[in-house]
Amino acid sequence: MTTAVGHRTDEELLTRVLAPYKGHCKYLRSALVTADAGLASAHCEFAIPESCYIDDTGHLNSVEVNIAYNQMMYYLVAKSVKEGLLSGFEDWTLDDFWRHQLPDILIARFAGTFRRPVNPRSFMGEMEFRSVTRRTPGGTPLLHAETAYRYWDAGAGRCDGEATLAFVNVP
């Protein structure tokens, strides 16, 4: 994604970002956040010791892809707000992020393609914001964001996709 100088994992921020998740559903272990020209990306490490809802499938599945994406996205937005990295969020504070994290950040579209099975016990992921635009449908402002993500493991496992986000009730 981008090669700009990065911000290594902020452990305190990561702990707070993952606080809403059940203990056995905290998959994100670390993240390197970079930014360039008002767009941000994250390169992350994940581990899923065991599925939170199904017997072991032996591979990363679509539910886990979505949970991992959420955690990666929440951390990337929080870190971007804290460091002033992502366009569209210049006026946000971390208090704004905490207030909006669960009720107001919506996945409007989520698509993924599994190329080869990914080992859920240890895998990498990255996502990038491709665009962030402010819109006012019906007079109510929102931020519309196009993102892309991918996951891979130490073998040949690979999954990638795109997601559209809507940040509603924005400050």
| Most distant CA atoms of the chain, gap in Å | 49
Give the model's confidence band at 5: pLDDT under 50 very low, under 70 low, under 90 confident, else very high: low
Is 53 within a domain?
A: yes
Question: Does 159 have pLDDT greater than 70?
Answer: yes
Residues 6+ apart with CB under 8 A from 32: 6, 7, 8, 9, 42, 43, 44
**Of the candidates 120, 138, 124, the residue with the CA atom closest to the CA atom of residue 56:** 120
The total of structural domains in the chain comes to 1
- Give the separation between CA 101 and CA 95, rounded to whole angstroms: 10
Query: Is 155 part of a structural domain of the chain?
Result: yes
Q: Which residues pair with 123 in a beta bridge?
A: 46
Residue 132: give the domain boundaries: 6-168
Residue 1, domain member (yes or no): no
DSSP string, 71-97: HHHHHHHHHHHHHT-STT-TT--HHHH
CATH number at residue 52: 3.10.129.30
**Total-model pTM:** 0.94
pLDDT digits (tens, 9 = 90+) for 66-99: 999 999 999 999 999 999 999 999 999 999 999 9
Domain assignment of residue 51, yes or no: yes
- How is the beta sheet containing 28-36 ordered, strand by strand? 6-7, 28-36, 39-46, 123-135, 142-152, 158-168, 105-116
Q: What is the pLDDT of residue 2?
A: 41
pLDDT at position 53 is: 83
Tens-digit pLDDT profile for residues 15-50: 999 999 999 999 999 999 999 999 999 999 999 998
